[in-house]
Amino acid sequence: MRLLFVFLLACVSFSCMVEETAPPIDDRNYSSEELDILKSAGHIKPSSRQLEWQKDELTAFFHFGINTFTGREWGNGEEDPNLFQPSNLDTDQWIKTIKDAGFKLAILTAKHHDGFCLWQSDYTDHDLGSTSWMDGKGDVLRDFVDSCRKYGIRVGVYISPWDRNQSSYGSDEYNTYFKNQLTEVLENYGPFDEVWFDGACGEGPNGKKQIYDWEGYYRIIREFEQRYNKNCVIAVSGPDVRWVGNESGLSRFNEWSVLPVHTLSQDDVQQQFEGYHFEDITDEERESLDLKNISRGDGTVKDLGSRSQIISSVKGGMDLTWYPAEADVSIRPGWFYHSSQDSKVKSLSHLLHIYYYSVGRNSNLLLNFPPDKRGLVHENDASRIKEFGDVIRSTFKKNLAEEASIRLVSGLAVSQEFSEKNIIDGDLLTFFRAASDCYTPSFELSFESPVTFNRVMLQENIAEGQRIERCEIEFFENGSWVNATTFGSVGYKRILKTKKITTDRVRIKIIQSRSFPELVNFGLFLADPRDR
């Protein structure tokens, strides 16, 4: 069902690759109680692990495993391990390729649903120890982790909870198996920066579905995090990073990082995520392990964090939480390599559209590259991603706004230290903070000579929360102010495409906010000609 939904959504979303326009402003009269609720939403903050993760922007996914050699997307766990025979595995090539394109983090499918482990596991024979490849001594996870560290790329691991090989799957015993395996990976290959748990939960070889001990899994990861003293987000079926809700890499027009802790009853949630299990966990434990997001709502719905969602949820007794989106998509139709898809690598314009609709909409992009049977990122994928990286780098290399002088047209900074100058100083550590009663400041940028741009960027100081709900950018032309673009929520980063505009004056008008805005950065860019 979920796959069908995801497939339909992918078709619909790409077939209409047109820019969405801003919906009408929400001009309802809100009571002071409601405004207080919205204000409190604007002051929910990310954890340090979430904040660090958000700055990655681009994460590479590598789906590699027994499916690479069987041509399947979902293996059944009965594969002969000997089929795994990469002829020229080179994880350095994977990591160099994505690093050159600007990616900061990489995640490997160390175990997919077939249960086949890309390391030597003490707990199963469905692993690299059972292949003749490298005389059973190969260790792809080790190679991958070493390559990431060598090139300064942050490291993530995907370990599928759904395991179609394990006969214990569907019983409590399997939870022990999974926890052993998780511990083995964290212990021998950690520290990791991200652990990715898939939501898919089908049957095991015994025809049974598993009741997962999620809290038990999370506890292990948090304990390792403390031991290594290094942040590690748990994504998707996890409390720190949420699935954006489709596998097309596209975020919502308003992608909020502050959401009600859950939007459905626990029964509904459990059905939605098949097998998602709520163990008995005390509130204190939940608090101490920072697991407030473990009861989650339906991640696919259109509206997760609007005013009405926030107000009705809080009035209904729910808490609010920081739960940022990760937008996943593959560079090819499949997640795993199939030679028949060599000519179906996404076009540059499709990838750029995804970039603007993910990174440009307050989400991290998780873009998948399926290494081929040689164990290499295929030439077609490698050259496309190089092109993508070059274009992004070229489009955003020169922030024209940094040449302007800036003044507040309306509103007030809380103090000189947090003045408007900070948003065009090129320093992401300094920011503008409005005075506490100023929710709708406007700024004007003036240039000594006209500049030409067609991309606008705005970034909030999310360390303190996400607050902006609506903003307009205007430019001065023939004696009057003209609208360049109107958009909604901002968060970590919002990027808008505009027509090509030449002007010597630009205005940023914040029209609606939940609390006093804090802005880190404003940008005006002229896109590379390949970025249309």
Binding site residues, ligand FUL, CB under 6 A? 73, 198, 200, 328, 335
User: What letter would DSSP give residue 78?
Assistant: -
Q: How many CA atoms lie within 13 A of 482 on its CB side?
A: 13
Quote the least distance from Cβ 118 to ligand FUL, whole Å: 14
CA distances from 292 to 135, 222, 259, 288 (A): 45, 13, 12, 10
Quote the least distance from Cβ 523 to ligand FUL, whole Å: 31
Quote the least distance from Cβ 149 to ligand FUL, whole Å: 24
492, 364 contact by CB (below 8 A): no
Nearer to ligand FUL, 178 or 335 (CB): 335
- Helix and strand numbers, DSSP H then E, in the chain: 13, 17
107, 158 contact by CB (below 8 A): yes
Nearer to ligand FUL, 6 or 134 (CB): 6
Quote the least distance from Cβ 498 to ligand FUL, whole Å: 33
Which of 102, 136, 193, 115 shows the shortest CA–CA distance to 396? 102
Q: How far apart are CA 378 and CA 529, in angstroms?
A: 26
Quote the least distance from Cβ 60 to ligand FUL, whole Å: 13
Strand extents, DSSP E, 127-174:
154-159
Q: Which two tokens stand for residue 333?
A: 């139709």
Nearer to ligand FUL, 57 or 328 (CB): 328
Nearer to ligand FUL, 213 or 328 (CB): 328
Nearer to ligand FUL, 73 or 274 (CB): 73
Which of 487, 462, 490, 485 shows the shortest CA–CA distance to 474? 485
Which residue reads 């922030």 in tokens?
399
Strand extents, DSSP E, 441-517:
442-460, 468-477, 480-487, 494-513
On the question of a cis peptide bond just before residue 191, with omega within 30 degrees of 0, the verdict is yes
Nearer to ligand FUL, 112 or 507 (CB): 112
Quote the least distance from Cβ 480 to ligand FUL, whole Å: 49
Nearer to ligand FUL, 328 or 381 (CB): 328
Q: Which two tokens stand for residue 120?
A: 């030597």
Nearer to ligand FUL, 198 or 425 (CB): 198
Quote the least distance from Cβ 157 to ligand FUL, whole Å: 13
Quote the least distance from Cβ 529 to ligand FUL, whole Å: 33
493, 360 contact by CB (below 8 A): yes
Quote the least distance from Cβ 274 to ligand FUL, whole Å: 11
Q: How far apart are CA 447 and CA 489, in angstroms?
A: 27
Nearer to ligand FUL, 245 or 517 (CB): 245
Cross-strand pairs, 327? 365
Cross-strand pairs, 219? none
Quote the least distance from Cβ 335 to ligand FUL, whole Å: 4
Nearer to ligand FUL, 198 or 387 (CB): 198
318, 333 contact by CB (below 8 A): no
Q: How many other β-carbons are positioned within 10 Å of the β-carbon of residue 374? A: 16
Residue 114 CB partners (closer than 8 Å, separation 6+): 65, 66, 67, 74, 75, 76, 77, 79, 126, 163, 164, 165
Quote the least distance from Cβ 193 to ligand FUL, whole Å: 18
Quote the least distance from Cβ 515 to ligand FUL, whole Å: 36
461, 528 contact by CB (below 8 A): no
One-letter identity of residue 474 = E
Q: How many other β-carbons are positioned within 10 Å of the β-carbon of residue 72? A: 18
511, 493 contact by CB (below 8 A): no
Q: How many other β-carbons are positioned within 10 Å of the β-carbon of residue 391? A: 21
Which of 35, 46, 43, 470 shows the shortest CA–CA distance to 240? 46
Nearer to ligand FUL, 62 or 177 (CB): 62
Nearer to ligand FUL, 182 or 258 (CB): 182
Quote the least distance from Cβ 334 to ligand FUL, whole Å: 9
Nearer to ligand FUL, 2 or 407 (CB): 2
